[in-house]
Amino acid sequence: MRYAAIETTSNDDSETQPSSMKELDLLRMLRDELQQMGIKAEMDQYGYVMASIPANTRKKIPAIGFIAHVDTSPDASGKNVKPQVIRQWDGNDIVLNMKKNIVLRTSEFPEMLQYKGQTMITTDGTTLLGADDKAGVAEIMHVAQYLMEHPEIKHGAIKIGFTPDEEIGRGVVKFDVKKFGTQYAYTIDGGEIGELEYENFNAAEAKIHIQGCNIHPGYGKDKMVNSMLIAMELDAMLPEEQRPRYTQGYEGFFHLTSINGTVEETTMNYIIRDHDLDKFEKKKELMTSIVKFLNKKYGKVVKLELKHQYNNMRQMVEPHFFIVEKAVKAMEMAGVKPKIQPIRGGTDGANLSFMGLPCPNLFAGGHNFHGKYEFIPLESMEKATEVILNIIKLFGE
């Protein structure tokens, strides 16, 4: 809750690294707290915090890393986050904000009911919570403290990494894998308890600018070009069934994340996602062809900027599948049923895997990320720390 209260929203419009200087407030805090535990930790010029707990045995045990990101999504406010704690939740709807009549309803989120009787941490209905991924940060920090207090747990070198800007796809663009010093790592950035993922979307971003022509509507005959109407036409040409609302599992999507317009000009931002590389490329081709069609129809008024973000890490993790198998066993040891599934999103682990650091993703325990209905059960966080410790023990064996 201390970490969640610090504003760390990343900024996709910024060219700096990190994209928001507010992220450094938490990154510095984490560095200092690690140092206070007696752990060697440092933060570089780009905001990456790297820490190392030395091996405490002469056995040859491979180093293992654990990584989480500190930034929160720009999709919702991360300012003045005020987490609420409901102990021994009775299974009824949770009033997040009585004044604004914002309620976390079990009828809308029935998955909540599996946590009846547990301690629920929610928002106050005005911001996101930040469990994505400050829950992962807290879990790694708890494990670090536990290892320092329990030297009887024999382990190889443990590497810890905290990154900025994951939510805008730039989390590890300047991450020094060689300096991090391990061949294998896990991101603690998944959702509900039991999630284990080693494949994710291929991802791209589309930025669109439409230049209209504003004429007094009384005299607009054959002259006015309304950029907002062209934007609506563009969106209508994309397949409706490939919107996030209608997709699941391995199904990809086009997602309109923002639109801002007048008659004179309109800007639109999309994210394009698919697990299958061929389908992903066809989605990008479709977006490009729609823009070409509209430019032919209206006269080169639409500009498209397609930006690659990350690839599906499956091909990079599968040759080292034992790290997935260790995570499965670690969950079973903790009494958690593994839920191996594709990530319907991305993690720092995707780009790290292509940078030579195979990096599956483990659950952090949260639900409803990026919005005011976000929540996390305390018990799920406790199980996440138990799983991390079990992985360390398994590598130690």
Determine the Cα–Cα distance for residues 285 and 218; give it in Å rounded to an integer.
Answer: 39
Dihedral of alpha carbons 92, 96, 98, 100, sign: negative
Single out the catalytic residue among 23, 132, 139, 166.
166
* 81 burial level (CB within 10 Å; 0-12, 13-18, 19+): buried
| Residue 167 annotated in active site | no
Whose tokens are 């360390």? That residue is: 392
| Residue 195 annotated in active site | no
**Strand bridging mode 339-340 / 120-122:** unpaired
Determine the Cα–Cα distance for residues 23 and 71; give it in Å rounded to an integer.
Answer: 6
Neighbours of 299 (CB within 10 A): 11
| Residue among 27, 228, 204, 214 at smallest CA distance from 133 | 27
Which residues, at least 6 apart from 281, have a Cβ–Cβ distance to it below 8 Å? none
Q: Cα–Cα distances in Å, from 195 out to 274, 375, 388?
A: 19, 16, 13
Q: Per DSSP, what are the bridge partners of residue 323?
A: none
User: What are the φ and ψ backbone dihedral angles of 147, each rounded to 5 degrees?
Assistant: -65, -40
Single out the catalytic residue among 7, 71, 139, 189.
71
Structure tokens at 391: 């992985």
Determine the Cα–Cα distance for residues 286 and 290; give it in Å rounded to an integer.
Answer: 6
Catalytically active residues are 71, 166
